[in-house]
C-alpha cells in the first residue's frame, strides 16, 4: 500500500473511534442525551445505569467492535506490528476525544478491550478476567476497569509481548484509561464512589 493509503486509513480509524455509540444508542432508544444524565460520560456504564441493561451491553459491544475491527483490518494495509499500534492509538484517541461530541468521549475500557483482542488476545482476555473478578468482589466498575488496565502490561509481558514498542504502547494505553478515571479514583479514595447496582 502507498504511504497515502496508510495515512488515510489512520484518519479513517480516528473517525471510526469517534463514533459515539453510547450517545447514538441513548438518543435513539432512550430519547435522552447521555452526556447530560447520570455521570455525563458517554459510555456503556452510564447507558446501562440510565437506560437499561440491554442497551448498556449493546453499547459495550459496539465500542469494543469498533476497536477490534479497525485494528484487525490494519494488517491488510500494512502487516507491520508498528502500523497496527499506530491504528490502535488512532481509534483510541478518537473514542476518548471524539470530534462528534466536542472532543468529550468515553473512558476507553470497551474500545481498549477490542483493540487488545486484535493485538494481544491472551493478555486482553486475562485483563477481562481481572475486571470480572474485581467487579464480583467489589461492585465498582471504575475499580474493576483500573485493575484490568493495570494488569494488562503484566499479562502482556508474561505472554511474550516483550518488545519495547509493545510494552510502551501498552503502558501509554493504560495511562489513558487511568487518566480518564481520575475523578473515580478521587471518589474511591474518599469512599464516595457509587457501586454498580
In tens, the pLDDT along 117-128 reads: 999 999 999 999
73 located within any domain? yes
127 located within any domain? yes
41 located within any domain? yes
195 located within any domain? no
What is the average pLDDT score of the chain? 94
Q: What one-character-per-residue DSSP string does 119-131 give?
A: H-HHHHHHHHHHH
Is the pLDDT confidence value at 197 over 90?
A: no
Which range marks the domain in which residue 62 is found? Answer: 3-190
Handedness of CA 80, 126, 181, 171 (dihedral sign): negative
pLDDT tens column, 22-40:
999 999 999 999 999 998 9
pTM value?
A: 0.92
Q: How far apart are CA 56 and CA 50, in angstroms?
A: 9
Q: How far apart are CA 69 and CA 125, in angstroms?
A: 17
Residue 67: its H or E element: helix 53-77
164 located within any domain? yes
CB 29, CB 79: distance < 8 Å: no
104 located within any domain? yes
Q: Which three three-digit cell numbers place residue 105? A: 468521549
Among 105, 77, 83, 84, residue whose Cα is nearest residue 15: 105
E-strand ranges in the chain read none
196 located within any domain? no
Is the pLDDT confidence value at 1 over 80?
A: no
The CA-to-CA distance between both ends of the chain, in Å, stands at 49
φ, ψ for residue 177 (rounded to 5)? -65, -45
77 located within any domain? yes
Q: What percent of the chain has pLDDT over 70?
A: 99
Task: Please give the tally of structural domains in the chain.
Answer: 1
CB 51, CB 29: distance < 8 Å: yes
Amino acid at each position: 500500500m502507498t504511504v497515502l493509503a496508510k495515512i488515510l486509513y489512520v484518519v479513517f480509524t480516528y473517525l471510526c473511534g469517534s463514533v459515539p455509540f453510547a450517545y447514538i444508542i441513548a438518543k435513539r432508544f432512550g430519547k435522552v442525551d447521555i452526556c447530560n444524565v447520570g455521570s455525563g460520560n458517554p459510555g456503556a456504564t452510564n447507558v446501562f445505569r440510565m437506560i437499561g441493561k440491554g442497551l448498556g451491553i449493546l453499547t459495550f459491544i459496539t465500542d469494543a467492535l469498533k476497536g477490534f475491527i479497525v485494528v484487525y483490518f490494519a494488517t491488510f494495509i500494512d502487516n507491520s506490528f508498528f502500523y497496527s499500534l499506530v491504528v490502535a492509538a488512532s481509534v483510541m484517541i478518537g473514542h476518548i476525544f471524539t470530534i462528534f461530541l466536542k472532543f468529550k468521549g468515553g473512558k476507553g475500557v470497551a474500545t481498549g478491550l477490542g483493540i487488545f483482542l486484535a493485538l494481544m488476545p491472551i493478555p486482553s482476555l486475562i485483563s477481562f478476567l481481572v475486571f470480572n473478578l474485581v467487579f464480583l468482589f467489589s461492585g465498582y466498575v471504575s475499580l474493576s476497569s483500573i485493575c484490568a488496565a493495570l494488569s494488562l502490561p503484566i499479562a502482556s509481558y508474561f505472554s511474550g509481548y516483550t518488545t519495547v514498542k509493545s510494552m510502551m504502547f501498552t503502558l501509554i494505553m493504560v495511562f489513558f484509561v487511568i487518566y480518564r478515571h481520575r475523578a473515580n479514583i478521587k471518589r474511591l479514595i474518599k469512599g464516595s464512589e457509587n457501586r454498580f447496582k
